[in-house]
Structure 1
Amino acid sequence: MRLLRKIAFPVSLVYAMVVYLRNFFYDKGWFKSISFQVPTVCVGNLSVGGTGKTPMIEYILRLFEEHHKVAVLSRGYRRKTKGFLLADEQSTVLELGDEPFQIHSKFNMVTVAVDEDRQNGIVTLVRKINPDLILLDDAFQHRKVKATLSILLTTFSNLYVNDWYLPTGELRDGKKEARRAQIIIVTKCPSSITEEKKQSIVNAIKPRDYQQVLFSTLKYNEFLVGSNNRILLSSLQGKRFSLVTGIANPQPLLDYLITVNSTFEHFQFADHHSFSENDIESFSKNGCIVTTEKDFTKLKGRCKNLFYLEVRHEFLGKGNESIEKAIKNIMSEFRSSS
């Protein structure tokens, strides 16, 4: 794979030029970006995935869902529908896409919508429910919308400043585009990260005066959650189970399971994989199946002894206060101007 990526370097130069020209046209105003009269928070990255966008969306929802009318807008990657769709009790994972369906299933007080046209999605949400806040999932490259606040995620193990363009690297956007973010979060850090290491990362990122750099780690639950029950992860010690992942970067999950002495056979699939009956037959042989929450939405009801391991972002330092304050500030500014 590494050899193929090196061979594809000329292709990455062409891709880089296309990305540069597109952003140049937006910067010059030849392509239009539109702001809206509702607070919008974009959560995204510069790479192709695996930075923890969905857990970050969920993190923000937990901060604001109780006292504010919050909506989440996603394009609904690989869904079987088109146009604007508002999630309801009858919605399925095929209609919404795996990540929006996951959010819809967990947050009953939150409006979840999908639309590949983010401008139309925002206009429709304002007309239908008039939310206090709209979270734009994976919309950093969607420059037709100028978000009120942009949060950029990058992983500890693969900082965007050290990466390169597709297909040689993982970048789908230019490194300089990080300047459009007000908050940069380094995700999936080891919980033991030192202040010296944090500072070296800040020095590499070189944030501008208006930017904050925050650090977070992944916190896994001690329980495995099934359709009708939950069990302690520790109850599987000494038992071999199937680990099924269809996410961009399963390595942190593998590392965690190894540290808690789990014994498993890993069945790794591409991000947003649609599981076939042959897939299910292959990983059902070990009795218990452990998967990610996103993959659980697509496998639920299709195989027995299926559980997922919930994961959350946990900030190292005062990240929690910084995120909450930044979003409250933009909401306050909108209220005072209306």
Structure 2
Amino acid sequence: MLKLLRRLLLPFSALYWLITAIRNLLYDWGVYTSHSFPLPVIAVGNLSTGGTGKTPQTEYLIRLLGDRYRIATLSRGYGRKTNGFIIANENAAAQTIGDEPYQFYSKFPNITVAVDANRVNGVTNLLNLNPKPEIILLDDAYQHRRLKAGFYILLTAYSEIYPDDFILPAGNLRESRTGAHRANVIVVTKCPPDLSDTEQQRIIKKLKPKPSQKVFFTCIDYDDLVYSEKGVLHIDDATQTQRVLVAGIAKPQYFFEVLAGPGTINKQYPDHHEFTETELNELNQLANERIIITTEKDYTRLKGKLPADSLYYLPISSMFINGGDDFDNTILTYVGKSTANR
């Protein structure tokens, strides 16, 4: 059935491919202007519509660079109820800056977190700050061609690498697979932790990277603890407790699997879901007898709306299966050279 549906949608995918291909060519030929800036700008993104792990990858970069440089993150602020350029402050919330930027702001108090759908305007405003950032991390800006980053990190999920996917609407790709050529490095995310060298080479062969591109493999590393405003629980204890798992992310199967067990109720919602009063009432009733464990991103929207002593979140991070030092050195070398040439 799915194969038949994809075949029916292929003509529309061809039209979508044509539009995006022409747009990219106009930027490549200089007909449309791309703006660059005199500081290291690193873009983290993907060819698909989501679920590749951009947030943990951006957090990895923050941890790598945060002790060395003044960092700012710039996101669109998907799902926020505000417009224009905003810098996160003590009044920030998921509703004002978006769930992922609010997560950055909550976890990393020493960085500047900004949102603006117009990334050129956002960077311009960030450079007017005093002190201004030394590095800007662009979250989900791979297709934002008006701003030319100095370094592109392309993510693709192990279970759905872009060579196996199709252009929208038949598949999930926002642009042709050839868009991968703009990347400096390609990171295959959400891999099994024990991914073999043979399997890595098979995937690299499928990706067909350019000689200048490096390919890395990461897996999701789950914390040993779940956290609430009132305290923490070890994950072993949490999985022995009556619980409701709440996920409003693109691909929640990993989250559900790590917390699976007898008596579990799974509640799945769309990515960046804004919970309704009816849904919150249902979760509040479930919280009378169970704990609720959610993702970090969903926690930013549920905090304050469910009982604090019942609501927990499970942090995740990105972990390199191998080659982590090479990745770090690649980023640090780019930043160092870019800063020296500024």
TM-score by length of 2: 0.94
CA distance in 1, matches of 2:179, 2:263: 42
Q: Give the match for residue 274 of structure 2.
A: 274
Partner SS for 1:90: coil
Tell whether the 8 Å contact from 1:41 to 1:134 is kept in structure 2 after alignment: yes
Q: CA deviation at 1:209?
A: 1.1
Tell whether the 8 Å contact from 1:73 to 1:134 is kept in structure 2 after alignment: yes
1:180-191 to structure 2, matched below 5 A, reads: 180-191=182-193
CA distance in 1, matches of 2:23, 2:262: 47
Q: CA deviation at 1:202?
A: 0.5
Tell whether the 8 Å contact from 2:44 to 2:155 is kept in structure 1 after alignment: yes
Q: Give the match for residue 328 of structure 1.
A: 332
Tell whether the 8 Å contact from 2:216 to 2:327 is kept in structure 1 after alignment: no
Q: What letter is aligned with 2:322?
A: G
Q: CA deviation at 1:40?
A: 0.2
Q: Among all aligned residue pairs of Structure 1 and Structure 2, give the percentage whose two residues are the same amino acid.
A: 40
2:252 to 238, 245, 250: 250
Q: CA deviation at 1:296?
A: 0.2
Tell whether the 8 Å contact from 1:244 to 1:283 is kept in structure 2 after alignment: no
Tell whether the 8 Å contact from 2:241 to 2:290 is kept in structure 1 after alignment: no
Q: Give the match for residue 200 of structure 2.
A: 198
1:293 corresponds to 2:296: yes
Tell whether the 8 Å contact from 2:247 to 2:269 is kept in structure 1 after alignment: yes
2:167 to 140, 165, 179: 165
CA distance in 2, matches of 1:256, 1:9: 36
Tell whether the 8 Å contact from 1:44 to 1:153 is kept in structure 2 after alignment: yes
Q: Give the match for residue 264 of structure 1.
A: 264
Moved more, 286-295 or 2-11: 2-11
Distance 1:335 1:10, change over 3 A: closer
> Any idea what the Cα deviations from partners look like across 1:71-109, whole Å, max 9, x if unmatched?
000010111111111111111211100000000010010
Q: CA deviation at 1:281?
A: 2.3
Q: CA deviation at 1:262?
A: 5.7
Q: Which runs of 5+ in 1 are unaligned?
A: none
Tell whether the 8 Å contact from 1:132 to 1:331 is kept in structure 2 after alignment: no
> Any idea what the Cα deviations from partners look like across 1:103-137, whole Å, max 9, x if unmatched?
00100101000011101111111111421110000
Q: What letter is aligned with 2:86?
A: L
| Number of corresponding residues | 335
Q: What letter is aligned with 2:133?
A: P
Q: Give the match for residue 318 of structure 2.
A: 313
Partner SS for 1:303: coil
Q: CA deviation at 1:6?
A: 4.5
Distance 1:331 1:239, change over 3 A: closer
Q: CA deviation at 1:337?
A: 2.3
Q: What letter is aligned with 1:198?
A: Q
Q: What letter is aligned with 2:336?
A: S
1:1-338 to structure 2, matched below 5 A, reads: 2=2, 4-128=5-129, 129-258=131-260, 261=261, 263-284=263-284, 285=286, 287-304=290-307, 305-319=310-324, 321-338=325-342
Moved more, 224-233 or 321-330: 321-330
TM-score by length of 1: 0.95
CA distance in 2, matches of 1:136, 1:108: 18
> Any idea what the Cα deviations from partners look like across 1:194-253, whole Å, max 9, x if unmatched?
110000001001111110000000011111111231111211334331111110000111
